[in-house]
Amino acid sequence: LKNYLHEYDPSSDESIKSVVEAIEKALDLGINYFDTAPGYGNGQSEKMFGIALEGIEPENIFLATKVSFGSYDDVMRSVESSLKNLHRDRIDLLQIHGDSITYDMAEAILSDNGMLKAMEKIKKAGVVKYIGFTSEDNNDVIYRFIKSGRFDSIQMCYNLLFQHPYEPSRPFGSMYEAEKMKMGIATMRAPTSGTFQRWIQMVNPENTFDYNRALIQFVLSNPLVDVALIGMRSAKRVEENVAICEDLNGRIDISKMHTRYV
């Protein structure tokens, strides 16, 4: 994404080189789940993955992309374009790219000639293995999608600040409902997209502690999380994040953290 959190041009030669090197390093270190979307850089993200994953056998990676809200025909065109960008003849996971999904959008998606029908047709044809949706909401639409039984996975916003999908002291939340439906659960924004860091800067400007490691470990500590998506634009960042993931001593007991009585 261009200028997301800081200045960044995904179309520059330097950016492309850095991302391709990051993906290659990720492969070397055993990362096999890769998430992209045509909406990231107007297809540029998919093209970077296409370059970096050229020649990698499909069974050695899990490749997820998305399709923006639109019509049945829009889904068909989007998938065709994504396959071309990714240099692939199939995709492991195709997701509806949702920031916020309104009631009216949900009605269109679930209609007889809507997006989901197109995705199910593509899945039946073997072009995609699984279908899912992404959202940063926890509104009634999300629960409706989960309980429909028509989606294989959900990608949701979950981190130390935004814990609304998972409240273990009750317990309740959309993450629990997705688990009941045996859906794959991927999370985004583990380091809070800089929100937690900005708060620290506001209340304690002299603080020098790097919270990224602890924030990532918090998400990885959740027993219902199958995949924690973390942005990695350089080989160095890949190495740092893999080291965090492999440090099992950094995991915490989330249930214990929520304990209120002794």
Supply the residues annotated as catalytic: 40
Helix (H) or strand (E) holding 129: strand 128-135
Is the link from the previous residue into 171 a cis peptide, with omega within 30 of 0? yes
